[in-house]
Amino acid sequence: MTTWVPADEQAGFGVANLPYGVFSPPGQPPRVGVRIGEYVLDLAATLDAELFARGSLNPFLAAGRARWTETRSRLRELLTDERHRPAVEPALYPVDRVTLHLPIEVADFVDFYASEEHASNLGRMFRPDSEPLLPNWKHLPVGYHGRAGTVVPSGTPIARPCGQRKPPDADVPTFGPSVRLDIEAEVGFVVGTPSTLGEPVATKDFAEHVFGVCLVNDWSARDIQAWEYVPLGPFLGKSFATSISPWVVPLDALAEARVPTPRQQPAPLDYLTEPEPWGLDLRLAVELNGEVIARPPYAGMYWSPAQMLAHMTVNGASVRTGDLYASGTVSGQAADQRGSLIELTWNGREPVRLSSGEERTFLADGDTVSISATAPGEGGSRLSFGQVTGRITPANCDPAASG
């Protein structure tokens, strides 16, 4: 299908994609839009002001799968049939002239740990004398509940966090700026249709509840994390900020991207089995100061997002519209496919060398990290997920000085 909008299909934002976001034209309030080529289409002006003249996607997410699919097919009709052009064209805004916002009001945030390579790499680094994976890892998708209120839109400056950190050779912790600030390149899943308290969501019902996919950078202060995480898991080392991309790619755009997940051995328990596994062939790229330092492949992830959702609700916990859950760091088998600096530099021992000659173990103030991704789309096209980006600003560890 070809759109009448000047849109290069190979640029990743043709009618095969149509990701949703929230934007403000200059001087106007936010509303829902879809990206088409280098433009954003105002859905409040084009389709339904009640549903789309809103500051988040949540009302549309709550409308459910039938409405999502119907809206997508209407948009494809409007954007491909030249007869609609005169009515629709005035609602297009050049994407570089609008402000992009957080696309969803995040209800709850959960982060998983679904890459076998990532979990094994960290195991090898921190428990060199034992098995890389802990005994539970191949039986359930390990995860933790994160902080929804500090999920921020792409482009938000990330202040270096302060906290307690205790080097291995020190007797007591000290307070100060994190000196091991890291990234985690992840894929996020946005829940639309809520589930009922007490009723687990089966793996086969994944697409009834999950609307779409975005990119996530789970900023991580490794020194704060290492000291605080025992025995209850991640806390302040991660809760200071989590960045997400402005565009949510609907599952309806990802039919061509579906691939099997890796063979699971031992076979998971019944509630984690899937009729057709939801592996996804997403190819991520991590840029540090404009230079690609890693290309993590999502397709190799051990646990699928349908398994994560089934596990998250198997105890009867319900999900809500706007819930976001993320895959955990995406890392592949090759050294340049690792989605965090702690892995890329092997715990800081092998610095990443940039073409400027500079080296990095962890992030320096002023560094910019951008994560992008593409996936196969219909008719041999490639879909773009856009990017999630953030720049590190200096720590302010003295609350009195912040005025």
Element (H, E) at 242: strand 242-244
In the DSSP assignment, the letter for residue 81 is -
From 58-66, 79-87, 104-112, 170-178, span contacting Mn ion (CB under 5 A): 104-112
State which of residues 9, 108, 182, 184 lies at the interface with Mn ion (CB under 5 A). 184
Tell me the CA distances in angstroms from 40 to 33, 100, 211, 243, one per residue in order.
6, 10, 19, 21
Window 121 to 180, contacts with Mn ion (CB under 5 A): none
CA distance 35 to 39: 6
Instruction: Say how many residues make up the chain.
Output: 403
Q: Are 143 and 113 in contact (CB under 8 A)?
A: yes
Torsion-angle region of 54 (φ positive above 0: left; ψ -120 to 50: alpha; else: beta): beta
Stretch that binds Mn ion, among 82-90, 213-221, 297-305, 367-375 (CB under 5 A): 213-221
Assess contact for 387 and 370: CB atoms under 8 A. yes
* Edge-to-edge order in the sheet of strand 20-24: 92-94, 39-42, 31-36, 20-24, 99-100
* Amino acid at site 31: R
Please identify the residue of the shown chain whose CB is closest to the bound Mn ion.
218
Q: Which residue has the tokens 């173990």?
A: 361
Beta carbon nearer to Mn ion, 184 or 343: 184
Which lies closer to Mn ion via its Cβ, residue 239 or residue 318?
A: 239
Beta strand ranges found along 37-124 (DSSP E): 39-42, 92-94, 99-100, 109-112
Does 343 help bind Mn ion (rule: CB under 5 A)? no
Closer of 52 and 109 to Mn ion (Cβ): 109
**Structure tokens belonging to residue 373:** 């991704």
Q: Which stretch binds Mn ion (CB under 5 A): 105-113, 263-271, 346-354, 390-398?
A: 105-113
Closest CB to Mn ion among residues 238, 382: 238
Comparing CB distances to Mn ion, the nearer of 42 and 111 is 111
Least Cβ distance, residue 111 to Mn ion (angstroms): 4
Closest approach, Cβ 198 to Mn ion, in A, equals 29
Among 9, 42, 218, 228, binds Mn ion (CB under 5 A): 218
Shortest distance, CB of residue 117 to Mn ion, whole angstroms?
Answer: 14
Applying CB under 5 A, among 9, 42, 111, 182 the residue interacting with Mn ion is 111
Beta carbon nearer to Mn ion, 59 or 132: 132
Determine whether 101 is an active site residue. Answer: no
Q: What are the φ and ψ backbone dihedral angles of 58, each rounded to 5 degrees?
A: -55, -45
Give the closest residue to 273 by CA, choosing from 206, 202, 328, 191. 202
CB of 285 to Mn ion, least distance (A): 18
Kindly tell me which of 122 and 272 has the beta carbon lying closer to Mn ion.
122
**Piece of 103-111, 167-175, 256-264, 378-386 that binds Mn ion (CB under 5 A):** 103-111
Question: What is the DSSP-derived secondary structure letter of residue 354?
Answer: P
Number of residues that bind Mn ion (CB under 5 A): 3
CB of 234 to Mn ion, least distance (A): 8
Whole-number minimum distance, CB 16 to Mn ion, in Å?
Answer: 29
Select which of 118, 139, 209, 311 is catalytic: 118
Q: Token digits for 108?
A: 């709850």
180 to each of 223, 226, 265, 295, 398, how far by Cα in Å? 6, 10, 35, 22, 19
Residues near Mn ion, by CB under 5 A: 111, 184, 218
For the annotated catalytic residues, the residue numbers are 118
